[in-house]
Amino acid sequence: MTTSISDPVVEKFVAAVNAGDETAFTAVLTEDATMSDDGSERDLAAWTEKEIFSPKANGRMKVVDASDDGRTLVVDYTNDTWGTMRTRWVFTVTGDRISRFETGQAPA
């Protein structure tokens, strides 16, 4: 069972990832969106292609917990490269789009 996400913008992000819909994913981000993975800044386009959207990745998010009005998630993130891992995602929402997200291993 997945946890409900109360922020509609974050909900669109998760839905786009799970649908493998790169167009919807891009539409929910600001043009200058940034991201980090395990505390390191990453090139958003290169990272998302490698970790989410390439046929070898096929990324999926199963939300385990949502807090901070739906802008902080604990997710069982699965892709075909790394398998399933518990991750934490923190989103900065600007208007009706995401301007930044940070992801990494969730604390045990």
Mean pLDDT estimate for the chain: 94
Six token digits for residue 66? 């949502």
- For residue 84, is pLDDT > 80? yes
- Express each pLDDT in 7-39 by its tens digit: 999 999 999 999 999 999 999 999 999 999 999
Q: What pTM does this model have?
A: 0.94
Domains for the chain: give ranges and CATH numbers. 8-105 (3.10.450.50)
